[in-house]
Each structure stands twice: as C-alpha cells, then as structure tokens.
Amino acid sequence: MIVEQRTYSLHIGAVPEYLKLYEEEGLAIQRPILGRMVGYFSTEIGALHQIIHMWAYKDLAERSERRAILTADPRWKEYAKKTRPLQISQENKILIPAPFSPWAIDDPALDLAALKS
C-alpha cells in the first residue's frame, strides 16, 4: 500500500472557495474513481492557504491507472477548469506506510475491477 499526499498552495483567501467547489462538485467525481481517501485538510498553522489531500493505493500501478481514469473524465476536466485559477502550485509525495500503519493493509472492498465494470 502507498499513500499519495497532494499539497495545493492557493491564492490568499481562496481556501473557502476551493473547499466549497470540491465539496459541491469535485468530491462526487474523485472519490469513486480514486477509491481510498485518507483525508482532506486545510492548514491553520505553518504554511497557510494550503489544501492537503491524501489517497491510498495498492501500488504505483494502481495509482497511475486510477489517475488516468480521473483525468480522462469530462466532468473532472470541467471541474478542474474552475479550481486551477485558485491554485499557485502543487506538490506530490508518495508515502510508504510503516508495517504497523492502518494503511499498510489493503481493503478488498475498494478493488479497481469494480470501477471498470
């Protein structure tokens, strides 16, 4: 299992608008496709005006396949047009869970084959 951490730095004051758009539109598109949301966060202390979201995958191959399905989805393309102007930068990290982490074990209920059918 791997966890992808995505950090978006937004324009000052854009966090509420970004979160509203995501909750109203993006979540319903992204969650069924990417499957295993670890969490979705905004920052309060430290680097401000950031959104951090984390998704778990079996491996890099599954991540690539799910991300390809997402980026090809016309609904996602339309949604992304609305959020890109709010963004300044993006950073991705692939995290490897320690053996005792809850995300070290896969959930068979989130099998990629179900998404394709």
Q: Which pairs count as long-range contacts for 26-32, CB under 8 Å and 24+ apart, including other chains?
A: 26/76, 26/79, 26/83, 29/70, 29/73, 29/75, 29/76, 29/79, 30/70, 30/76, 32/115
Residue 102 has a pLDDT of 73
**DSSP-based three-state secondary structure for 93:** strand
Residue found under tokens 């951490």: 5
Q: How far apart are CA 20 and CA 85, in angstroms?
A: 15
Residue 98 has a pLDDT of 86
φ, ψ at 48 (rounded to 5°): -90, 170
CA end-to-end span of the chain: 23
Residue 115 has a pLDDT of 62
Q: How far apart are CA 67 and CA 98, in angstroms?
A: 24
| Sequential pLDDT tens for the chain (117 residues) | 899 999 999 999 999 999 999 999 999 999 999 989 999 999 999 999 999 999 999 999 999 999 999 999 999 999 999 999 999 999 999 999 888 877 666 666 566 666 666
pTM to 2 decimal places: 0.83
Residue 97 has a pLDDT of 85
The fold adopted by the segment(s) 2-116 is Alpha-Beta Plaits (3.30.70)
Tell me the domain boundaries of the chain: 2-116
